[in-house]
Amino acid sequence: MMKSNHSKRLGMMVLMVLLFGTLSAMAGPRVIQITADEDGKFKVPGQKKPMITLKAQEVVVLRITSHKGSDWEKDGAVHSFTINALKDQGWDLRLKEGTKDFTVSAPAEPGEYVVECTVRCGKTHDDMKMKLIVTP
């Protein structure tokens, strides 16, 4: 009697561990919030300096909220989220007003990358930068 209860409980625990693993995998990539603000700055909620850290080749969703500054471009882009070195890997996102999700994949090469805005968005445009750190 005791033994059967014990193995039932053990079975249940194994099942829950498996279920949890499946659910976490189903939850999909990490979502990272970023604001491209009207003052010509990138902001990451809860951080003093805008910076994101990803593992090499990690797939994440960038949830970017954009607000227009004093200037924008004809196609409606108010900012961009561009890493020159990774442009051909999908890291060149034109941002229109509002919130949009972008799925990106971190490069295989660890290091520090500079994110820049390539849309002339106002006076502070030249300084509109943030950092991407890629860890091994």
| Minimum distance, C-beta of residue 130 to Cu ion, in the bound complex (Å) | 12
Mode of pairing for the β-strands spanning 42-43 and 79-82? unpaired
When the beta carbons of 83 and 128 are compared against Cu ion, the nearer one is 128
Question: Are residues 61 and 99 in contact, defined by beta-carbon separation less than 8 angstroms?
Answer: no
Q: Taking the mean position of all CA atoms in its chain, how far away is CA 19?
A: 27
Binding site for Cu ion (CB under 5 A): 117, 119, 121, 125, 128
Question: Are residues 46 and 77 in contact, defined by beta-carbon separation less than 8 angstroms?
Answer: no
When the beta carbons of 116 and 134 are compared against Cu ion, the nearer one is 116
Spatial separation of the C-alpha atoms in residues 28 and 50, rounded to whole Å: 24
When the beta carbons of 54 and 78 are compared against Cu ion, the nearer one is 78
When the beta carbons of 115 and 128 are compared against Cu ion, the nearer one is 128
| Minimum distance, C-beta of residue 126 to Cu ion, in the bound complex (Å) | 8
| Minimum distance, C-beta of residue 121 to Cu ion, in the bound complex (Å) | 3
Spatial CA neighbour of 43 closest among 31, 33, 53? 33
Radius of gyration of the chain, Cα coordinates, nearest whole angstrom? 21
DSSP assignment letter at 46? T
| Minimum distance, C-beta of residue 61 to Cu ion, in the bound complex (Å) | 22
